[in-house]
């Protein structure tokens, strides 16, 4: 499937001769009216490319994100915890699939996107390059990482591209369950032994700052943000979303009884918002550019999954051809 081209007639138009300026105008009017752009509609090439990049990165993050928690499936402390974790990790696989499907509506090829991920030509969320050292990390990922994902993703339910927005509605419902299961696990541990409480605090200490980095660099250093907002792909800047996450999380930390590892965290009485300390952006840069604690391991495992399972695709393709 090729990308919609300028000379292709817009949906419902009578003939092939359509004025490019009129197509552009129609696109802009759709965005301005807060209506959705659908796969059949004409769209500027930059809009299509930005969406493919963002949706692919999002899909890759869901799939790579199965690994840090998947590591604990065989070491879950009870049958109940195992069932919950299994359901969560399977949800993340489903999120990846919805999102690859959304990218396909823009003319992208799923296998090609996977190759780009494995060859490091497309990125995924920096957060999944950190290791999960204890079972408390499973809880903290649910609480903080899925919590940050919810802040990021709820506004995407109103994204201007229809298939992406609709995928996000389903995904966000499941992310809420992910956050709750994480918080419930941590609450249980905090009511347990001193050793368990120490495990939770240690996990919070390690995941707090990387969770804040999930929102990306500050707005003035985020080159694509302004255009994405103008196109209605993104609805809020990175800094606003990060602030919402902090405001939502600080009271939850209090109820849980953990200390967030930031001595500068103070309530701004005038605005009701929590001020937080400086983020180490060099760490984010390092992890994004491939030098985080687990980047090589994550990609190696994804590569092995693609290569080891290639025979399934081959067999299914041969079977389909035989019955065509």
Distance CA 24, CA 60 (A): 31
The residue range among 60-68, 99-107, 211-219, 260-268 that interacts with Fe ion, by the rule CB under 5 A, is 60-68
Check residue 69 for interaction with Fe ion (CB under 5 A): no
The residue range among 121-129, 168-176, 241-249, 308-316 that interacts with Fe ion, by the rule CB under 5 A, is 168-176
Closest distance between Fe ion and the C-beta of residue 146, in Å?
4
CA distances from 52 to 20, 39, 222, 231 (A): 22, 12, 18, 14
Check residue 92 for interaction with Fe ion (CB under 5 A): yes
* Cβ–Cβ under 8 Å, residues 73 and 81: no
* Cβ–Cβ under 8 Å, residues 130 and 141: no
* CA-closest candidate to residue 2, choices 115, 122, 104, 117: 104
Closest distance between Fe ion and the C-beta of residue 29, in Å?
33
Classify 276 as helix, strand or coil. Answer: coil
User: Which residues, numbered 224-253, are part of the site for Fe ion (CB under 5 A)?
Assistant: none
DSSP calls for 32-51: HTTPPB-TTS---HHHHHHH
Q: Which is nearer to Fe ion, 175 or 262 (CB)?
A: 175
Q: Where are the beta strands (DSSP E) in the chain?
A: 266-268, 273-275
Q: Which is nearer to Fe ion, 47 or 207 (CB)?
A: 207
Q: Which is nearer to Fe ion, 50 or 61 (CB)?
A: 61
The residue range among 125-133, 140-148, 233-241, 272-280 that interacts with Fe ion, by the rule CB under 5 A, is 140-148
Q: Which is nearer to Fe ion, 128 or 276 (CB)?
A: 128
Residues near 202 by beta carbon (within 8 Å), at least 6 away in sequence: 133, 134, 136
Count of residues engaged in binding Fe ion, rule: CB under 5 A: 6
Q: Which of 41, 146, 190, 213 binds Fe ion (CB under 5 A)?
A: 146
Closest distance between Fe ion and the C-beta of residue 65, in Å?
7
Check residue 178 for interaction with Fe ion (CB under 5 A): yes
Closest distance between Fe ion and the C-beta of residue 182, in Å?
9
* Cβ–Cβ under 8 Å, residues 305 and 96: no
Closest distance between Fe ion and the C-beta of residue 110, in Å?
17
Report residue 113 as tokens: 């996107």
Q: Which is nearer to Fe ion, 62 or 137 (CB)?
A: 62
What residues pair up with 267 in beta bridges, in sequence order? 274
Report residue 226 as tokens: 């302004």
The residue range among 36-44, 66-74, 85-93, 212-220 that interacts with Fe ion, by the rule CB under 5 A, is 85-93
Contact residues: Fe ion, CB under 5 A = 62, 92, 95, 146, 175, 178
């Amino acid at each position: 499937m090729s990308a919609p081209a300028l000379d292709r007639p817009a949906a419902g138009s009578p003939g092939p001769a359509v004025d490019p300026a009129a197509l552009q105008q129609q696109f802009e009017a759709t965005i301005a009216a807060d209506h959705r752009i659908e796969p059949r509609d004409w769209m500027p090439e930059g809009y299509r490319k930005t969406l493919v990049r963002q949706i692919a990165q999002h899909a890759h993050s869901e799939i790579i994100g199965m690994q840090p928690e998947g590591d604990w499936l065989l070491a879950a402390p009870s049958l109940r915890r195992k069932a919950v974790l299994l359901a969560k990790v399977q949800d993340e696989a489903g999120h990846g699939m919805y999102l690859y499907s959304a990218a396909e509506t823009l003319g992208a090829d799923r296998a090609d996107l996977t190759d780009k991920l494995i060859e490091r030509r497309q990125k995924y969320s920096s957060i999944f390059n950190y290791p999960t050292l204890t079972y408390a990390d499973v809880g903290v990922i649910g609480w903080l990482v899925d919590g940050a994902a919810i802040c990021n993703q709820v506004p995407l339910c109103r994204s201007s591209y229809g298939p992406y927005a609709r995928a996000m509605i389903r995904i966000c419902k499941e992310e809420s369950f992910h956050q709750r299961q994480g918080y419930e696990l941590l609450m249980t541990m905090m009511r347990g032994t001193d050793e368990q409480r120490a495990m939770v605090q240690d996990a919070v200490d390690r995941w707090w700052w990387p969770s804040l980095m999930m929102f990306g660099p500050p707005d003035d250093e985020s080159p694509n943000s302004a255009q994405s907002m103008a196109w209605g792909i993104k609805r809020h800047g990175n800094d606003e979303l990060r602030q919402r996450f902090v405001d939502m999380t600080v009271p939850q930390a209090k109820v849980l009884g953990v200390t967030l590892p930031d001595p500068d965290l103070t309530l701004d009485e005038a605005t009701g918002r929590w001020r937080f300390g400086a983020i180490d952006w060099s760490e984010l840069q390092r992890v994004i550019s491939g030098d985080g604690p687990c980047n090589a391991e994550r990609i190696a495992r994804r590569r092995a999954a693609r290569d080891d399972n290639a025979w399934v695709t081959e067999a299914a393709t041969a079977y389909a051809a035989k019955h065509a």
